[in-house]
Amino acid sequence: MVITERAHVQVKPEQLIQLLQRFPFPVWLDSAKVTTEQRYSFLAAQPLLYLQHRYEEMYIHHEDGSIEVQQKAPLDVFAKYEERYTRAYTQTLPFHGGWMGFLSYDFHQQLEKIPQTTIDDLQTPTMGMGLYDGVFVYDHEEECLLITALGIGEQTAQERIDYWQRHLQQTTFLTTKIEYQPQARTIADDVTAESYAQAFTKLKAYIEQGDLYQMNLTHRLQMSLEEEPLQLYLRLRALNPAPFAAYLQFSETTFVCSSPERFIQVRDGIVTTRPIKGTRKRGHDAASDYQLKEELWNSEKDRAELLMIVDLERNDLAKIAQSGTVTVPELYTVETYPTVFHLVSTVTAQLRETVTPAEIIAATFPGGSITGAPKIRAMEVIDELEVHRRGIYTGSIGYIDCNRNLDFNIVIRTIVCHNKQAYFHVGGGIVWDSTVEFEYEETFQKAAALIAALQKREQVI
């Protein structure tokens, strides 16, 4: 039975995370846009189960602290547990409990065997999914903190809620203050302008030969990190509020994400994906803003690039959809973000009734907007041309509830905090009429908010 209560202590998510960080595997799926679609943020910790895949092994963390190790396919292990905890219930919120976590880009190796020659120096997990009951929901419209639970484990839903109500009442929450102390920081890059141009030239040759229509080419930046990842996230959140942001913390690594892009959503049997292709930086005033927005809207190159990905996503959704239900209700729209404009499409379909979340992942992951077309060949060339393994970058963070609804982002605009260092990839889609100077510059436009957050600036330069 679903139970939802108003929290006895009303705090905002940026304060609540102070409590959740004391428990294993805290996760914060953060929505920074107050619209019907992005009204709620979800926070949780101390899962009943936590499934982690790394080094070709599955680590199953149980609530009592025991860890079970299996050498089985991670999607098979997840599917077994997901089936066990699936149930039907009436929803009054988008998420009452279930699975929250991530799939790294490198999880594609579990679906397609692509060569892996890139450097894997961070060795982050390829999957981390926790089963959470007793979830905090922050309603940004009502400015209200709720606790909701399903009672899917040994405790009832009410016992789960009471547990967190007690912790709220026993916690002294500190006022959050974002620190701004602008400072220059060295930015290391795993490519030079010349080596990026060489990779770009090779990619254009593949396109000319007909191997590819387009591909997302990325490189990795690195800066020192002299503060706690949470402080960095709060600053990034203020500088670059995003509808599919997230903060995930485990062992020695933390993901700090401010993604604007939805990968895939399932709600009441309708599956939706919203690929982004086409970017322009924001102007310095209203007139230049308008000019750049119009430039993106009228760009034949960006429209053609997005159309290729729409076709790819239509094909992916067709694998799991009822026949004849794949539609494109929104082919082109320009969305405005704090630092950039994006050209976005929407593709929807009616799911076949028997399709499971694991089958949805297998059919669609990773998102076509950050691989290329055709997808498998694009992933092969990504491995050939990029220096470092992508890890979480261009993977997905989100949730799957026990009602089999789900919502995942595309992990872009994201920093990996690891051993006092901050790592973040940037990239863009390359097509036949792309120019190396424009594409290379665009990658740094996309990095602007991340760099500003790391340099402790109040504004994005």
Q: Which helix (H) or strand (E) holds 145?
A: strand 144-149
Domain-located, residue 180: no
For 193-243, write each residue's pLDDT tens digit: 999 999 999 999 999 999 999 999 999 999 999 899 999 999 999 999 999
Q: Residue with structure tokens 């428990």?
A: 23
Which residues does 10 contact at the CB level (< 8 Å), separation at least 6?
Answer: 144, 145
Domain-located, residue 176: no
Catalogue the E-assigned strands of 162-213. 188-189
What confidence score (pLDDT) does residue 373 get?
Answer: 94
Q: Which amino acid is at 444?
A: F
Write out the two tokens for 454.
Answer: 């790391």
CA 435/CA 66 separation, integer angstroms:
53
Over 80: is that where the pLDDT of 144 sits? Answer: yes
CA 440/CA 436 separation, integer angstroms:
6
Question: From the CB of residue 19, how many other CB atoms can be counted at a distance below 10 Å?
Answer: 21
Write out the two tokens for 188.
Answer: 């290391």
For 353-400, write each residue's pLDDT tens digit: 999 999 999 999 999 999 999 999 999 999 999 999 999 999 999 999
Domain-located, residue 89: yes
Buried b (16+ CB within 10 A) or exposed e, 217-235: bbbbbbbebeeebbbbbbb
Is the bond preceding 24 in cis, omega lying within 30 degrees of 0?
A: no
**Domain harbouring 398, CATH code:** 3.60.120.10
Question: From the CB of residue 26, how many other CB atoms can be counted at a distance below 10 Å?
Answer: 23
What confidence score (pLDDT) does residue 33 get?
Answer: 62
Supply the mean pLDDT for the chain.
Answer: 94
Q: What is the dihedral of CA 150, 21, 239, 258, to 10 degrees?
A: -50
Domain-located, residue 184: no
Helix or strand or coil: residue 287?
helix
Over 90: is that where the pLDDT of 333 sits? Answer: yes
What confidence score (pLDDT) does residue 133 get?
Answer: 97
CA-based nearest residue to 111, from 314, 390, 375? 375
Domain-located, residue 227: yes
Active site residue 295: no
What confidence score (pLDDT) does residue 337 get?
Answer: 84
What confidence score (pLDDT) does residue 36 get?
Answer: 62
Domain-located, residue 178: no
Burial of 444 (0-12, 13-18, 19+ CB in 10 A): middle
Q: Taking a C-beta distance cutoff of 8 angstroms, is the pair 32, 413 a contact? A: no
| Cα atoms in the 13 Å half-sphere on the side-chain side of 418 | 15
Q: How confident is the model at residue 323 (pLDDT cuts 50, 70, 90)?
A: very high
Write out the two tokens for 1.
Answer: 């039975």
What confidence score (pLDDT) does residue 346 get?
Answer: 95
CA 79/CA 195 separation, integer angstroms:
42
Over 60: is that where the pLDDT of 339 sits? Answer: yes
CA 154/CA 453 separation, integer angstroms:
42
Which domain, by its residues, includes 91?
A: 3-171+189-454
Q: Taking a C-beta distance cutoff of 8 angstroms, is the pair 455, 183 a contact? A: yes
Domain-located, residue 179: no
What confidence score (pLDDT) does residue 195 get?
Answer: 97
Length of the chain: 461
Which residues does 156 contact at the CB level (< 8 Å), separation at least 6?
Answer: none
CA-based nearest residue to 345, from 381, 310, 300, 308? 310
Average pLDDT over residues 138-157: 95
What are the residues facing 42 on neighbouring strands? Answer: 29, 137
For 402-444, write each residue's pLDDT tens digit: 999 999 999 999 999 999 999 999 999 999 999 999 999 999 9
Q: What angle do CA 242, 246, 252 make, to 5 degrees?
A: 145
**277, 281, 375, 456: the active-site residue:** 277
Question: pTM of the predicted model, to two decimals?
Answer: 0.95
Domain-located, residue 67: yes
Active site residue 261: yes
Over 60: is that where the pLDDT of 34 sits? Answer: no
Regarding beta strands 270-273 and 340-350, do their DSSP bridges make them parallel or antiparallel, or are they unpaired?
antiparallel
For 299-321, write each residue's pLDDT tens digit: 888 898 899 999 999 999 999 99
**14, 82, 261, 442: the active-site residue:** 261
Helix or strand or coil: residue 78?
helix
223 alpha-carbon distance from chain centroid: 21
Q: Taking a C-beta distance cutoff of 8 angstroms, is the pair 371, 382 a contact? A: yes
Write out the two tokens for 378.
Answer: 């694009």
Average pLDDT over residues 121-130: 96
Total of domains in the chain: 1
Measure Cα distances from 233 to 11, 61, 252 in Å.
18, 26, 16
